[in-house]
Amino acid sequence: MSLIKQTGGFVPRDRSWQPDALTPTYKTSIKRSPQAALLSFPTTLSEETSPVFGHNLIGELDNDLILNYAHAGESAIGPRIIVYGRVLDEMGRGVPGALVEFWQANAGGRYRHKKESYLAALDPNFGGCGRTITAEDGSYEFRTVQPGPYPWPNGMNDWRPAHIHFSLFGHGFAQRLITQMYFEGDPHIKLCPIAGALNNQKAIDALTALLDMHRTVPMDSRAFKFDIVLRGQRQTYFENRKEGL
């Protein structure tokens, strides 16, 4: 039976499909993975209950990366896309009021960051980050340009698949989850040591947004659908799951 059709009951968390923290083909994981057994700390009341952001802080263009850093009358260069979907709990119910933040490289694969070393050009009209808040049904949407793949210093010649980073904030400080979204059909996904660390095609598929021609705007933007499932059997893989709740 589909989880969406379930209406209740306990669904135990399945951690068995989480990748190992140490995956040497992803070189940074060698230093980042724990060298000793993890210690567990109980969360404090303020971590669980304190507000983390003001819901009225969202600006008019915060969910429009084509325009939010562009000069007046100009726009970001690249394939124009809409990314949309829902944030869902394990039963398929929408999660309202979650802050969804996103950041990405420009269409050439270049980040606007002082430590960026890739020689692809910056786009003067593209900042590369935005945010929105999920609606009552858990839905979210933003407009951007499709990011390009980029090389990174890992193996001799590793390239990241085109991707958009996501952060989700719930209603407490400790409710933060981070992941990244790939694009359907990108040949770099199967070559990527980071995506490969998952070692689980279903988990990679859950991170891959599907082209949705029904939501395209003709002669304007294509659309990609990306649902984010917080936990349960259909959960999205989160990079910081081992730290977060």
- Residue 119, SS3? coil
Answer yes or no: 165 catalytic. Answer: yes
- Which candidate in 163, 176, 182, 237 is catalytic? 163
Answer yes or no: 84 catalytic. Answer: no
- Which candidate in 150, 176, 182, 237 is catalytic? 150
- Which candidate in 160, 176, 182, 237 is catalytic? 160
Answer yes or no: 163 catalytic. Answer: yes
- Which candidate in 112, 165, 188, 241 is catalytic? 165
Long-range contacts of 216-222 (CB under 8 A, 24+ apart): 216/82, 217/82, 220/80, 221/80, 221/81, 221/82, 221/143, 222/79, 222/80, 222/81, 222/82
Return phi, psi of residue 5, to 5°.
-85, -10
Tokens of 129: 């980050």
Answer yes or no: 150 catalytic. Answer: yes
Contact 212, 183 (CB under 8 A): no
Residues with Cβ within 8 Å of residue 203, at least 6 apart in sequence: 17, 237
- Kind and range of the H or E run holding 83: strand 80-88
User: Any idea how long the chain is?
Assistant: 245
DSSP secondary structure of 6-39: ----------TTSPPS--TTSTHHHHHS-SSPPP
| Separation in Å, CA 86 to CA 18, 46, 125, 228 | 23, 28, 28, 6
- Which candidate in 111, 140, 182, 237 is catalytic? 111
Answer yes or no: 93 catalytic. Answer: no
Distance between CA 106 and CA 144 in Å, rounded?
Answer: 9
Known catalytic residues are 111, 150, 160, 163, 165
